[in-house]
């Protein structure tokens, strides 16, 4: 069963994000489920697996979107790497703290995504408000996912500069 779980996620995460979460909009803004998944998986399993999930989901989003190819691939891969590094730094962070750290990461994701897609000065009040709402929505979704699944309890032992750490 564990072998088929990644296949299930890859096959169903993008349709869930585009079909089901389309109806759960707050102020016309939907969460970025693939960003939440890549961030949480990178945090729990490390930078390499976070980057692999970022490449897979970002690549799929690029293939199935009508936008510029490569933007989601690059951003989701970078988020997987960043979350793996943050996971080592803040190893024993509680669930709400983990979800709270997703807020600035989500803001940076939206900012750089907009920067790649629009060459002129594009940040204005309405876009900044939209980024803040999406960041809060992503954080709340991550907290809900963590609390319901116990995902954060699957942390493995981590070696950092020759010292082994394991969660409480």
167 vs 79, residue with greater confidence: 79
Give tens-digit pLDDT for 56-114.
888 888 887 766 778 889 999 999 999 888 887 776 666 667 778 888 888 888 888 87
**80 domain-assigned:** yes
**9 domain-assigned:** no
Domain residue limits at 79: 34-155
What's this model's pTM, rounded to 2 decimal places? 0.78
69 vs 123, residue with greater confidence: 69
Q: What percent of the chain has pLDDT over 90?
A: 7
Which residue, among 69, 13, 1, 67, has the nearest Cα to 40 in the 3D structure? 13
**24 domain-assigned:** no
**135 domain-assigned:** yes
- 159 sits in the region (left: phi over 0; alpha: psi -120 to 50; else beta) called beta
How far, in Å, CA of 122 to CA of 111, rounded? 10
**5 domain-assigned:** no
**130 domain-assigned:** yes
User: What domain count does the chain have?
Assistant: 1
How far, in Å, CA of 50 to CA of 98, rounded? 15
The pLDDT of residue 84:
87
**75 domain-assigned:** yes
Contacts of 33 (CB under 8 A, 6+ apart): 13, 16, 17, 21, 141
């Amino acid at each position: 069963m564990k072998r088929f779980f990644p296949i299930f996620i890859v096959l169903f995460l993008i349709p869930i994000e585009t079909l089901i979460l389309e109806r759960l909009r707050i102020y016309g803004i939907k969460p970025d489920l693939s960003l939440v998944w890549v961030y949480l998986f990178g945090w729990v399993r490390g930078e390499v697996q976070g980057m692999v999930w970022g490449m897979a989901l970002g690549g799929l989003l690029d293939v199935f979107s009508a936008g510029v190819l490569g933007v989601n691939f690059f951003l989701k891969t970078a988020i997987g790497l960043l979350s793996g590094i943050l996971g080592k730094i803040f190893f024993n962070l509680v669930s709400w703290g983990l979800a709270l750290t997703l807020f600035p990461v989500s803001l940076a994701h939206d900012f750089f995504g907009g920067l790649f897609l629009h060459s002129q000065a594009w940040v204005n009040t309405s876009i900044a408000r939209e980024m803040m709402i999406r960041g809060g929505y992503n954080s709340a979704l991550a907290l809900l996912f963590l609390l319901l699944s116990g995902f954060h309890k699957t942390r493995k032992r981590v070696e950092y500069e020759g010292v082994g750490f394991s969660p409480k």
